[in-house]
Amino acid sequence: MVDSGAMAIVGSVFNVVAFAGSLRRASYNRALVRAATELAPSALHIMVFELDDIPLYSEDIEAAGAPPSVIQLRDAIRKADGLLIATPEYNYGVPGVLKNAIDWLSRPPRDSALNGKVAAVMGASRYSRNGAQPIAIAAGIRFYRHVRTATAGGSCRASAREV
């Protein structure tokens, strides 16, 4: 059973497409996506998609037909149950590569690959501030800060509070 708060899926696999909002090979956020795939429970399948081949969005390119890399990303997300984004935060904003991917995915508006999808945003940084928070706020997503509390028995309890 995968407990995702409001929705629980019993006896099936929850399929997620994950990508990092960074193109840097040694990106902390690419490492975070790899860690998520390695640590995911058996009822969660994470397919990693690299954004390296996604061209800059242009209506001219779109009018001529979406490039194969965009079609592959759209198709993968349409088939998935959800989306996992690991992203840095650049100057309290969305990195260009992530914004570009969202631009492609949100088009055309009535047939967006993002329609009806659940999404989680996470971030890793060398710095103490949480990179996902400004991005989530900018996107109008409720941001939850997960708090881990160690118990006397050595186990951890996780809770979330809205920020």
Alpha helices in 44-148 (DSSP H): 59-64, 68-79, 96-105, 132-138
* CATH no. for 13-162: 3.40.50.360
Q: What is the pLDDT of residues 50-97, one digit of tens each?
A: 999 999 999 999 999 999 999 999 999 999 999 999 988 877 778 899
- Please tell me the distance from the alpha carbon of residue 70 to that of residue 113, in angstroms, as a whole number: 11
Element (H, E) at 28: helix 28-39
Give the pLDDT score at 57. 97
Q: Among residues of the chain, what percentage have pLDDT more than 90?
A: 47
Band of pLDDT at residue 139, cut at 50, 70 and 90: low
> Residues 6 or more apart from 45 whose CB is under 8 A from it?
13, 14, 15, 16
Give the pLDDT score at 35. 94
Element (H, E) at 36: helix 28-39
Element (H, E) at 33: helix 28-39
| Separation of CA 96 from chain center | 15
Q: Among residues of the chain, what percentage have pLDDT more than 70?
A: 71
Q: What is the pLDDT of residues 16-43, one digit of tens each?
A: 999 998 998 898 899 999 999 999 999 9
The domain ranges of the chain are 13-162
